[in-house]
Amino acid sequence: MNISDSLEYCLFYDKPVKYKGLEIYPVLMNDYLPFHLYVQSLLLDKNSTPNVKVISMTYLEFLYYLVNETPNLPYLYMLKELLKMVLHNNDDNDYYFGTDEKGKALLKIKGETYTSTDFDNIVDIIFKQNGIEHIDDSIQKEVRDAMDKAMDYKMQQNAYKMCSLEEQMICVLISTSMKLEDIYNLTIRKFSKILERVDYKLHYQIYKSAEMSGMVSFKDGNPFKHWMADLTKSDKYEEVKVDAEEMHNKIDNINK
């Protein structure tokens, strides 16, 4: 495989990723709303159930299981619409969901067969292209729910609530030289990165100006890294985990 076909290269330049005859395209902001609706079909918390049979299923098998158990839920339709979007192929006849002669779940696209493992690889590509996080099965659902609530509470305490998608686009519009049409044609992943960087740069400049004025000093130096520093977070629960650890330490000290 040459470098132009590597996942890193394709993510960097917003190119389609090739996988076993497929070309999987990153989604543009123009399709943000339908994409985030359809991608819910890939974000079902399969392993939170006490049903061992369900836990042992592949995700594709789980989707087929849901069709039989809850036929009123349109997850398979949502999956097909998602695939049509990322493959740039709107022909319904090119998609087939079924099983092989041994009852193993499979997916066919334009006559080519893709196994459950292939499906997981395709999902992983879609998530990486569009900034979607996999459910962390190493953390119990009850714990994840508690940390999500803690994150919401932390935002409320800071009197901070993320504005709507429309307002986020306007934030990028007034902070850059882009026009709205330019923003619509950004990939979702690039837009998210631009928005994060614009916000961080503004806060860094405010803190730096306050520090340079000599009227403000910070106990541990400037609390913000340089605005061009790596902003990657290895754990989205990082901040609330630190808060939880501090709280436990305080309780332990009181009990001594």
Q: What is the mean pLDDT of the chain?
A: 84
- Same domain, yes or no, for 74 and 163? no
- Same domain, yes or no, for 122 and 151? no
Indicate whether 251 pLDDT > 50. no
pLDDT at 207: 76
Closest CA to 238 of 168, 136, 170, 128: 136
Indicate whether 250 pLDDT > 70. no
User: What would the mean pLDDT of 221-245 be, rounded to a whole number?
Assistant: 65
Please answer whether residues 123 and 163 qualify as being in contact, where contact means their C-beta atoms are separated by less than 8 angstroms.
Answer: no
How would you classify residue 88: left for phi > 0, otherwise alpha for psi between -120 and 50, otherwise beta?
A: left
pLDDT at 143: 60
Kindly report, residue by residue over 151-172, the tens digit of the pLDDT. 555 555 555 667 899 999 999 9
pLDDT at 241: 54
Q: Helix, strand, coil proportions of the chain in percent (round to 5)?
A: 60, 10, 30
Tokens 């943000």, residue located: 32
Domain count, the chain: 2
User: What would the mean pLDDT of 125-144 be, rounded to a whole number?
Assistant: 79
- Same domain, yes or no, for 25 and 122? yes
What H or E segment, with its residue span, contains residue 89? none
pLDDT at 176: 94
Kindly report, residue by residue over 25-80, the tens digit of the pLDDT. 999 999 999 999 999 999 999 988 889 999 999 999 999 999 988 888 899 999 99
CB-count exposure of residue 125 (10 Å: 0-12, 13-18, 19+): buried
The residue that leads in pLDDT, 250 or 147, is 147
This prediction's pTM: 0.81
With respect to residue 135, please indicate whether it lies within any of the assigned structural domains.
no
pLDDT at 135: 81
- Same domain, yes or no, for 7 and 126? yes
Indicate whether 238 pLDDT > 80. no
- Same domain, yes or no, for 103 and 174? no
| Backbone dihedral angles phi then psi of residue 19, each to the nearest 5 degrees | -145, 110
Of the three residues 100, 130, 160, the one that is the final residue of a domain is 130
With respect to residue 222, please indicate whether it lies within any of the assigned structural domains.
yes
- Same domain, yes or no, for 13 and 123? yes
Indicate whether 146 pLDDT > 50. yes
Please give the residue range of the domain that contains residue 22.
3-130
User: What would the mean pLDDT of 233-251 be, rounded to a whole number?
Assistant: 55
